[in-house]
Structure 1
Amino acid sequence: MPTGKVKWYDADKGFGFIDADEGEDVFLHANALPEGTTTIKNGTRVEYGMAQGRRGVQAMNVTVLEAPPSVQANRRERDRKPTEAMVVIVEDVMQLLDGVSNDLRRGHYPDKAKATKAAQVLRAVAADLEA
């Protein structure tokens, strides 16, 4: 069976093309995707049967051989701060929140600058933890 990589695929339109290892582009319709699959990422290695369609060769019975590596997952690991650095950051956030908590215990919200700083720091730490 021929193999290739998905050149592009548009789930909204329901079709795309495979860049065949033999060098030709092969039409890929949504009906040819594996059962339960509604979309496929560009760069996915696939194996497929071929049939002559009205406008040329098209893929049939596509099987996914290898999904492309996730750029987002690789980026997350690379950009993640070391745990030792995160310990210091979390401890600093705790001190910042203690100050906010004390203001709230006294019956008033912290001033605008303090509240803005706390919100920005919390968003940044949340992003670092999710990375």
Structure 2
Amino acid sequence: MPSGRVRWFDANKGFGFIASDEGTDVFLPAAALPAGLTTLRKNARVEFSVVDGRKGPQAMGVTLVATAPSMVKANRPQADDMAAIVEDLIKLLDSAGNGLRRHHYPSAAESKKLATLLRAVADNFDVQE
């Protein structure tokens, strides 16, 4: 059974490509994914069968061998550091909430700062396995 790594896969488009160990690119349709999977992460190791499609080799019966490591998970802060960041963020949000209670939105600069901080903290929590 051939094996390789996922070059890329776009769940919205419903396809991607596998770089096989033999050096060829193999088309990967969403229908070939294992049951229960809707997407594959780049560089995930897979085994598959190959059939001749209309435009070249096409993967069928894909089996996930190993997932690619999450760079976000590997690089995220320690839990103690995140606790301090979250506490500081709560103070900023509390200040913004007090202003809103007085019918005053934060200035454009403050709003942009809050939005940036919220996204950064959310990215550290949103780790896909």
TM-score above 0.5:
yes
Aligned length: 106
Q: Displacement of 1:36 after TM fit?
A: 1.5
Q: Displacement of 1:80 after TM fit?
A: 2.3
1:54-108 CA-partner distances (Å, limit 9, x unpaired): 11000000000000001111111xx32767xx6xxx8xxxxxxxxxxxxxxxxxx
Aligned to 2:19: 19
Rounded Cα–Cα distance in structure 1 between residues aligned with 2:9 and 2:34: 14
Per the alignment, in what secondary structure is the counterpart of residue 72 of structure 1?
helix
Aligned counterpart for 1:80 among listed residues 67, 78, 81: 78
Gaps of 5+ in 1: 91-115
Rounded Cα–Cα distance in structure 2 between residues aligned with 1:6 and 1:46: 7
Q: Which runs of 4+ in 1 moved over 4 A?
A: none
Per the alignment, in what secondary structure is the counterpart of residue 48 of structure 2?
strand
Task: Give the structure with higher Rg (CA).
Answer: 1
Gaps of 5+ in 2: 88-109
Aligned to 1:6: 6
The alignment yields a C-alpha RMSD, in angstroms, of: 3.6
Identity %: 46
Aligned to 1:33: 33
